[in-house]
Amino acid sequence: MTTLTDPPQGSFRLSMLINDTRYRSLTFQAIALLLLIVSIAYLANNLFANLAAAGLNIAYDFLGTPAGYDINQTLVEYNSRSTHARAALVGILNTLLVAFLSCVMATVFGVLAGVLRLSNNWLVAKLMSFYVEIFRNIPVLIWIIIIFTIMTAVMPAPRAFRGDEPEASMLLGLVAFTNRGIYIPAPVWGPGSLVVVATFIVSIVGVIGYRRYATNLLYSTGKLLPTGWPSLAILFVPTILMFYIMGRPIGLDIPELGGFNFRGGIQVGAPLIALWFALSIYTGAFIAENVRAGIQAVSKGQTEAASALGLRPGRVMKLVVLPQALRVIIPPLISQYLNITKNSSLAIAVGYADITATLGGITLNQTGRAIECVLLLMLFYLTISLLISAVMNVYNNAVKLKER
């Protein structure tokens, strides 16, 4: 039963541009294109008129001129004579540093809170839902400011550590919490330390190899090797042995009070701590919800079926529940990582020198190159988020339910 669906092929009339579905979409797109071009032309025209009136132009050569400002926390060498481009690089690295640290810590907080929220323990479950609700419903900027205030206004000044009866003391004699930041011991790499590090790396490879061997043995012969304790042993025993054989080449540079401040060790500034902690504890609350939803999404029948097959609870979790839950958890988790990276731009509120504070803050104010700076800033964040989205797509395709 074929019916004639096409309208009769008459000659083309102008009204068909609006009334005929075959041509209407072309009309709409032409209108949209026209509007787009007109608005872009209007904005660009205004832009050039305004720039000409202000005696400005769009140029990026300011990046090569000396920045002239200092940055207190840098991962690469930098001084005030370095260029603006160098300052931007310092900012990029600082952004990536705080984003990475926060992602790791937020995952820890989130997984802990999410799992504990499902605990049989009533009190713990309530406490965790309290944590999630409190942190989700208060702006992250307020959390950053709160933790920054704790770090700068509540922590003791370095001089509180002085004297025979000091008001403050170092944690375990190693870490000092002061209002100028946290001082942690720095590792000192003596001669021969390279061997110890190399041993540790070889041990990691060894652990992976051993676990792979155990899996292969299990699948081919059904023989079950223990993996937990042997893995730990392979990981640490050779490294510790090598450490003593080489004569303890790796030492610790413990921060000491000298003059008005601590010397030695690594100083982690208050802005970094505030940003790191606030971002991880805030995003942790969101991740906790994702984890909880992911575990609850695995239907109870799966757990029961696995138990009926005779799997022990640990294996039920590892082999049946987690692989299915992860498929639900990972995509929102990655978008939370993206949020952390974007929220790290709030560093400007506490004076942490990330890309927003260097390129979008001081450089912008010193050079007056607002358009160029903001464009570069957007380009950076856009690149990061497109990269993370690409990773997410690859992962999603890998774990997608293989259906016929």
Partner 1 sequence: MSDIHANSVAFVRKTEIPPAPPPYAATGPVKWLRENLFATPANSLLTIAALYVIWLILSGALPWIANGIWTTSSLTECRQALDGVAGACFSVLTERWNQLLFGFQYPSEFYWRPTLALVLLFVAAAPVLFFDLPRKLLVFTAVYPFIAFWLIWGGTILTPILALAGVIAGALVYQRLVTGSFAYGFFGGIIAAFIVWTVGGWIIPAGASDSAMLTAVPSRDLGGFMLNMMLGVTCVTLSVPIGIALALGRQSSMPLIKMICVVFIEFIRGVPLITLLFVASVMLAYFFPPESTLDLFLRVVIMITMFSSAYIAEVIRGGLAALPKGQYEAADSLGLDYPQAMRLIILPQALKISIPGIVNIAVGLFKDTTLVSVIGMFDIVGMIRGPILASTEWNGVYWELLGFASVLFFIVCYGISQYSQWLERRLATDHR
CB of residue 122 vs partner 1: minimum separation in angstroms?
A: 4
- In this complex, which beta carbon is closest to partner 1, that of residue 43 or of residue 233? 43
- Coil/strand/helix, residue 171: strand
How far apart (Å, rounded) are the C-alpha atoms in residues 291 and 293?
5
Number of helices (H) and strands (E), helices first, in the chain? Answer: 14, 7
Closest CA to 112 of 139, 132, 97: 132
- In this complex, which beta carbon is closest to partner 1, that of residue 144 or of residue 272? 144
Q: Please provide the DSSP assignment of 326-392 as one string.
A: HHHHHHHHHHHHHHHHHHGGGGGGTT--SHHHIIIIIIHHHH--HHHHHHHHHHHHHHHHHHHHHHH
CB of residue 361 vs partner 1: minimum separation in angstroms?
A: 9
Closest CA to 319 of 309, 332, 329, 328: 309
CB of residue 316 vs partner 1: minimum separation in angstroms?
A: 18
- Are 195 and 242 contacting, i.e. CB atoms less than 8 angstroms apart? yes
Residue 265, token pair as written in the block: 């060790």
CB of residue 227 vs partner 1: minimum separation in angstroms?
A: 23
How far apart (Å, rounded) are the C-alpha atoms in residues 84 and 259?
34
How far apart (Å, rounded) are the C-alpha atoms in residues 78 and 72?
10
- In this complex, which beta carbon is closest to partner 1, that of residue 85 or of residue 349? 349
Provide the β-strand partners of residue 251: 188
Closest CA to 108 of 368, 362, 364, 285: 285
Q: The sheet that has 181-184: what strands, in order across it?
A: 176-178, 181-184, 266-268
Residue 54, token pair as written in the block: 């202000």
- In this complex, which beta carbon is closest to partner 1, that of residue 52 or of residue 194? 52
- In this complex, which beta carbon is closest to partner 1, that of residue 70 or of residue 133? 133
CB of residue 114 vs partner 1: minimum separation in angstroms?
A: 15
CB of residue 377 vs partner 1: minimum separation in angstroms?
A: 5
CB of residue 123 vs partner 1: minimum separation in angstroms?
A: 5
Residue 329, token pair as written in the block: 């958890």
- In this complex, which beta carbon is closest to partner 1, that of residue 216 or of residue 383? 383
CB of residue 290 vs partner 1: minimum separation in angstroms?
A: 12
Measured at the CA of 342, the angle between CA 337 and CA 346, to 5 degrees, comes to: 125
- In this complex, which beta carbon is closest to partner 1, that of residue 136 or of residue 180? 136
Measured at the CA of 400, the angle between CA 395 and CA 404, to 5 degrees, comes to: 150
Cβ–Cβ contacts within 10 Å for residue 23, how many? 15
- In this complex, which beta carbon is closest to partner 1, that of residue 307 or of residue 345? 345
Task: Give the residues lining the site for partner 1 (CB under 8 A).
Answer: 18, 25, 28-29, 32-33, 36, 43, 46-47, 49-51, 53, 119-124, 127, 133-134, 136-142, 145-146, 149, 153, 342-343, 345-346, 348-349, 356, 360, 364, 370-371, 374, 377-378, 381-382, 385-386
Provide the β-strand partners of residue 158: none
- In this complex, which beta carbon is closest to partner 1, that of residue 154 or of residue 308? 154
- In this complex, which beta carbon is closest to partner 1, that of residue 67 or of residue 340? 340
How far apart (Å, rounded) are the C-alpha atoms in residues 297 and 112?
18
Provide the β-strand partners of residue 263: 256
